[in-house]
């Protein structure tokens, strides 16, 4: 008997041009239209939302939280809690795009996370993701996957175009301080900001060192986003440079050894050029 998930396309090839790959490597991000169908987003989004509600432990009123906690509900590694979400996270369509953009032989999962910005949720401060990751190279990419269209008032992701080359500010965790200092630094760099809304089915991909932020949710409905963080299939662990990287090593790469290729049960291979035929 064929199940609904077997009729939904999360594995086929997305036609990515050489120009788009060049754009990504120059700008540090790319937004791609019609990556996932409305049916895919509805089916898997329903399960993701169900797991967010089940696993969320944040019950404080928004006004009682700090800036980080106001920005979103953050539930990580949902693929470990649901076979349906696991199907989605292991989908080859997104994994192949990540592999092509990075120019690697394949990609492994670093971890996934749902980022649900509640009605009235605050802004997400400027930051880079790889501040938190004890990874050897810059061959990392985050797929930011809205489960519905995201207009400006919902708080779409914003990118500083070409900022993956900027070193200053990488040492700052997400905070009011990072918003202030990085904002001032980016103004001096005079790099453009891309803050466009997301259409249904549109997915963005950004390097781990690309500076980005998001506005507040000014609506009365949640901004529902799933993310998947991919890393080079040959990524090696480095000695942590801060306490956040130590925590990530312990949580997302348990058992991995410094200087060796990361190969743990929490970091499965999801796409390989060698095995794609």
**Is 51 a domain residue?**
yes
> Cα(210)–Cα(104) distance, rounded to whole angstroms?
19
- Establish if 70 belongs to a structural domain: yes
So what's the pLDDT on residue 4?
63
- What is the structure's pLDDT at 64? 94
* pLDDT given at position 277: 53
Distance CA 93, CA 95 (A): 6
Is residue 48 in some structural domain? yes
pLDDT digits (tens, 9 = 90+) for 165-222: 999 999 999 999 999 999 999 999 999 999 999 999 999 999 999 999 999 999 999 9
Does 10 fall in a domain? no
Please tell me the total count of domains within the chain.
1
d(CA 240, CA 230): 19
State whether residue 114 is helix, strand or coil: strand
Which tokens is 82 given?
């649901």
Structural domain of 253: 16-272
The one-digit pLDDT tens for each residue of the chain (277 residues) are 455 666 799 999 999 999 999 999 999 999 999 999 999 999 999 999 999 999 999 999 999 999 999 999 999 999 999 999 999 999 999 999 999 999 999 999 999 999 999 999 999 999 999 999 999 999 999 999 999 999 999 999 999 999 999 999 999 999 999 999 999 999 999 999 999 999 999 999 999 999 999 999 999 999 999 999 999 999 999 999 999 999 999 999 999 999 999 999 999 999 999 877 5
Please indicate, yes or no, if residue 7 is contained in any of the structural domains: no
Q: Does any domain span residue 207?
A: yes
pTM over the 0.85 mark: yes
CA atoms within 13 A on the CB side of 172: 20
Tally of CA atoms within 13 A in the half-sphere of 62 that contains its CB? 13
Q: Is residue 170 part of a domain?
A: yes
CA dihedral 27, 29, 34, 36 (to 10 degrees): 160
- Residue 195: count of CB within 10 angstroms of its CB: 14
Question: Which two tokens mark 196?
Answer: 């466009």
The pLDDT assigned to 231 comes to 98
Round to whole Å and give the CA distance between 213 and 158: 5
Extract the tokens encoding 274.
Answer: 């060698």
Task: Tell me the C-alpha distance between 256 and 242, whole Å.
Answer: 17
The answer to the question of residue 216 being in a domain is yes
d(CA 111, CA 122): 24
CATH number at residue 267: 2.60.120.620
| Residue 174: per-residue pLDDT | 94
User: In this predicted structure, what is the pLDDT of residue 1?
Assistant: 46
Cα angle 90, 92, 93 (rounded to 5 degrees) comes to 125
- Please give the Cα distance from 17 to 201 (Å, whole number): 18
């Amino acid at each position: 008997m064929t199940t609904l998930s077997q009729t939904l396309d999360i594995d086929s090839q997305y036609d990515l041009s050489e120009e788009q790959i060049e754009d990504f490597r120059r700008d540090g991000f790319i937004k791609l239209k019609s990556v996932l169908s409305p049916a895919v987003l509805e089916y898997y989004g329903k399960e993701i939302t169900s797991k967010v509600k089940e696993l969320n432990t944040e019950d404080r009123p928004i006004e009682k939280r700090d800036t980080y906690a106001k920005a979103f509900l953050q539930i990580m590694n949902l693929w470990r809690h649901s076979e349906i979400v696991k199907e989605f996270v292991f989908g080859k369509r997104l994994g192949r795009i990540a592999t092509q953009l990075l120019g690697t032989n394949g990609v492994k999962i670093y971890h996934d996370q749902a980022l649900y910005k509640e009605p009235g949720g605050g802004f997400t401060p400027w930051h880079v993701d790889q501040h938190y990751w004890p990874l050897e190279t810059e061959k990392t990419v985050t797929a930011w996957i809205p489960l519905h269209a995201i207009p400006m008032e919902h708080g779409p992701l914003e990118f500083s175009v070409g900022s993956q080359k900027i070193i200053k500010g990488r040492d700052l965790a997400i905070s009011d301080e990072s918003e202030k200092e990085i904002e001032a630094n980016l103004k001096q760099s005079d790099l453009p900001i891309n803050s466009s809304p997301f259409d249904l089915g549109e997915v963005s991909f950004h390097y781990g060192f690309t500076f980005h932020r998001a506005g507040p949710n000014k609506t009365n409905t949640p901004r529902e986003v799933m993310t998947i963080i991919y890393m080079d299939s040959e990524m090696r662990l480095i000695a942590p440079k801060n306490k956040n990287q130590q925590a990530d090593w312990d949580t997302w790469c348990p058992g991995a050894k410094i200087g060796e290729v990361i190969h743990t049960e929490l970091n499965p291979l999801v796409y390989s050029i060698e095995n794609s035929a």
